[in-house]
Structure 1
């Protein structure tokens, strides 16, 4: 029985070698391969020197703006959104 296993093992290894599709015929992967993952990682990295506008919350804020928004929501006094144009120039 072990002789059969020893005879089949090299054949199995030879057949599995045909499954290597990445470098067959010296074909390299696309140069942009993995760029999406690198981009997503870069987006999630904390900016060491952030720039905040006056409307943004800043580190150390107590949540006054958020509390006021929740109060307006609960009392049905939500601010109407500002109208913004999506096109410019003559129509």
Structure 2
């Protein structure tokens, strides 16, 4: 009797699983299209060469980074908040 109950439960679950909606061949195309739209050009070809950097400045920046003496950027205020009511 115990085996019959397990068999019936397995058959019922198999029947329920067969009623699931099959995945469509185009499933996920919207996500792939959105991802492709966010990529500007994965292999850009430029007419001009990349401008060179000064080796002394680049070396000094690396030294500052290694010695933990990085120059902090200037702070920029993007908003002005004022309190109180307009008069």
TM-score norm. by structure 2 comes to 0.38
